[in-house]
């Protein structure tokens, strides 16, 4: 009878399985793997998210996922080096019992910082606290990318968890103040000043940071644009309104989706007919040839300045 008890479809704890009647022989079956001690699953995790979910059945009630592990559950854009199955990161309040498990990193937090919520039945640090814990391993630019995703009011933000509630900048500022004396607080203080709401994807954040580092004025992000008659024109990724200069990041969807491709042609032609200078940027421009991109942007900036009759600063 025990052998006919169905095995759970997702990762499960050995303790729960035995309580449900599964035998030790069945739990040692060749169709099951043990991603963590005391856990069984049908396959080894192949991503940070899968590894986090695999550890969830044995997460102690006084612990919570944090750092990259919490970020992937929230659907936030962690760096590629952290997106693999590697290590799971959990948080525990100081004075509580630490877990010592192969493949698991435990971060001790001051009890007053231990801000935790439940997400699909799993304890995770809040987005604001998660952002602070990521400062240990993320660069300034990576923190800006993740912070932009947290505060974005754009419901179509790429990859973010459906129903994610944008974090007010004031909450991030408060979290950074509470993080005083902890690892990475200096980076967090710089990053929070660089965040912009309305960003729709990680590359948009990266593009904005490249232009910011190059010394360009502050661009409006996904702002509505109207013609002189009050007709809606577009919502460009980046805009210098006075110079009528627009920068658009063209992801692969703009190329592979035929309807989107045709809409882009019509939209850009309309913008150019209204005397806007439009610079289109691809992933190759942004990540493989940023120097050439900066040069092209300064040429477009100078041209837009001449067209507008303004002097370049």
Q: Tokens standing for 33?
A: 């793997």
State the average pLDDT for the chain.
Answer: 92
Q: How far is CA 32 from the centre of its chain?
A: 32
Residues in Cβ contact with 180 at an 8 Å cutoff, skipping those fewer than 6 apart: none
Average pLDDT of 229-245? 95
Map 83-119 to HEC letters.
CCCCCEEEEEECCCCCCCCCCEEEEEECHHHCCEEEE
Question: Distance between CA 249 and CA 244 in Å, rounded?
Answer: 17
312 pLDDT exceeds 60?
Answer: no
φ/ψ of 96, rounded to 5, equals -85, 165
293 pLDDT exceeds 80?
Answer: yes
Question: Distance between CA 135 and CA 127 in Å, rounded?
Answer: 13
pLDDT in the model for residue 261: 79
Cα 204–Cα 76–Cα 125 angle in degrees, nearest 5: 145
- What pLDDT digit, counting tens, does each position of 191-233 carry? 999 999 999 999 999 999 999 999 999 999 999 999 989 999 9
- What pLDDT digit, counting tens, does each position of 84-93 carry? 998 999 999 9
- Residue 169's nearest CA partner among 199, 141, 142 is 199
252 pLDDT exceeds 70?
Answer: no
- What pLDDT digit, counting tens, does each position of 46-93 carry? 999 999 999 999 999 999 999 999 999 999 999 999 999 989 999 999
- What pLDDT digit, counting tens, does each position of 253-279 carry? 555 667 777 888 999 999 999 999 999
Cα 288 to Cα 202, 208, 281: the distances in Å are 16, 16, 12
300 pLDDT exceeds 50?
Answer: yes
- Residue 124's nearest CA partner among 176, 80, 74 is 74
Question: Distance between CA 4 and CA 38 in Å, rounded?
Answer: 21
- What pLDDT digit, counting tens, does each position of 157-186 carry? 999 999 999 999 999 999 999 999 999 999
Q: Are 247 and 211 in contact (CB under 8 A)?
A: yes
Using left for φ > 0, alpha for ψ between -120 and 50, and beta otherwise, residue 144 falls in alpha
Sorted by where each begins, the domain ranges of the chain are 2-39, 48-194, 202-308
3 pLDDT exceeds 50?
Answer: no
φ/ψ of 30, rounded to 5, equals -70, -15
Q: Crossing angle, helix 185-194 and helix 140-151, to 10 degrees?
A: 50
37 pLDDT exceeds 60?
Answer: yes
Would you give the DSSP letter of residue 166? P
288 pLDDT exceeds 70?
Answer: yes
Q: Are 246 and 278 in contact (CB under 8 A)?
A: yes
Question: Distance between CA 146 and CA 191 in Å, rounded?
Answer: 10
Q: Crossing angle, helix 127-134 and helix 140-151, to 10 degrees?
A: 170
Q: Which CATH number fits domain 202-308: 1.25.40.10, 3.40.960.10, 3.30.70.270, 3.20.20.140?
A: 3.40.960.10
pLDDT in the model for residue 253: 54
For residue 238, the surrounding DSSP H or E stretch is strand 238-240
Question: Distance between CA 186 and CA 190 in Å, rounded?
Answer: 7
């Amino acid at each position: 009878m025990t052998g006919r008890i169905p095995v759970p479809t997702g990762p499960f704890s050995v303790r729960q399985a035995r309580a449900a009647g599964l035998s030790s022989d069945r739990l040692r079956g060749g169709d099951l793997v043990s991603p963590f001690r005391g856990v069984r699953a049908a396959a080894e995790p192949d991503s940070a998210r899968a590894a986090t979910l695999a550890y969830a059945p044995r997460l102690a009630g006084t612990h919570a996922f944090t750092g990259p592990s919490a970020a992937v559950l929230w659907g936030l854009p962690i760096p590629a080096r952290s997106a693999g199955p590697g290590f799971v990161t959990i948080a525990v309040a100081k004075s509580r019992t630490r877990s010592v498990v192969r493949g698991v990193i435990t971060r001790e937090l001051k009890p007053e910082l231990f801000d935790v919520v439940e997400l699909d039945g799993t304890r995770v640090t809040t987005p604001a606290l998660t952002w602070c814990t990521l400062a240990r391993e993320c660069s300034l630019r990576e923190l800006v990318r993740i912070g932009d995703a947290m505060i974005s009011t754009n419901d179509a933000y790429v990859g973010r968890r459906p129903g994610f509630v944008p974090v007010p900048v004031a909450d991030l500022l408060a979290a950074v103040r509470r993080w005083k004396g902890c690892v990475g607080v200096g980076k967090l203080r710089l990053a929070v000043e660089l965040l912009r709401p309305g960003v729709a994807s990680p590359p948009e954040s990266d593009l904005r940071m490249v232009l910011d580092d190059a010394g360009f004025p502050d661009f409006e992000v996904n702002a509505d644009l109207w013609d002189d008659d009050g007709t809606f024109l577009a919502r460009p990724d980046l805009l210098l309104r006075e110079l009528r200069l627009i920068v658009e990041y063209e992801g692969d969807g703009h190329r592979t989706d035929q309807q989107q491709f045709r809409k882009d042609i019509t939209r850009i032609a309309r913008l150019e007919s209204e005397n806007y200078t439009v610079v289109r940027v691809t992933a190759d421009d942004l990540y493989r040839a940023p120097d050439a991109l900066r040069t092209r942007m300064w040429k477009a900036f100078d041209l837009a300045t001449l067209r507008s009759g303004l002097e370049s600063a």
